[in-house]
Amino acid sequence: MSLSEHTKANKKIDHQVMINHVIALFRDNMPFNQLLGLEFITQGSGLETQISLHLNWQPTLTGNPMQKILHGGVTATMLDTIGGLVSIVETIKQTALEHLADLQVRLPTMGTIDMRVDYLRPGRGERFIATAAVIRKGSKLVVCRMELHNEKGDHIAFGTGTYMLG
């Protein structure tokens, strides 16, 4: 049941319903994420929900054909996507149950304000994993630290992103 169907059915929104809704938005309603083949992996539930992005190597994602490495734009996209998603999910987790409906109204205006990417080594690997953690959260902004590793644990890139909460 979607968030709007949930609301129309006069059911109270809880943290898990809202988190699932946001993940579905990023996964199912953002064509670029689908084009890249991003996989949204969750662990835990409710206030314990953790999320990461996974991407299998594909030749269409090549940035340097001579070295067969991941395109820097794909790296930046993965970092920005996980940073934005974690910003929203952590905001949901920190919002009191009675204020989730107010947060729901602000969801469409949330977005990236600024992002910096540091490329540490060439993006070689068969599978890439992006994770993020909130560094600071205010009432209007969230700052995240994002990391991209390959399946061997090699640290490929990190980023810092600032996200508007609406």
Q: What span, in angstroms and rounded, lies between the C-alpha atoms of 63 and 54?
A: 18
Q: What is the pTM of this model?
A: 0.91
Identify the sign of the CA torsion 114, 120, 121, 123: negative
Q: Is the pLDDT of residue 58 over 90?
A: yes
Angle at Cα 58 formed by Cα 125 and Cα 111, nearest 5°? 90
**Dihedral in degrees, nearest 10, Cα atoms 100, 106, 107, 113:** -130
End-to-end, the C-alpha distance of the chain in Å comes to 25
The pLDDT tens digits for 103-114 are 888 888 999 999
Starting from the edge strand earliest in sequence, which strands make up the sheet with 111-119, in order? 39-43, 50-56, 127-137, 141-150, 155-164, 111-119
The pLDDT tens digits for 75-104 are 999 999 999 999 999 999 999 999 998 888
The pLDDT tens digits for 2-29 are 555 555 545 678 999 999 999 999 999 9
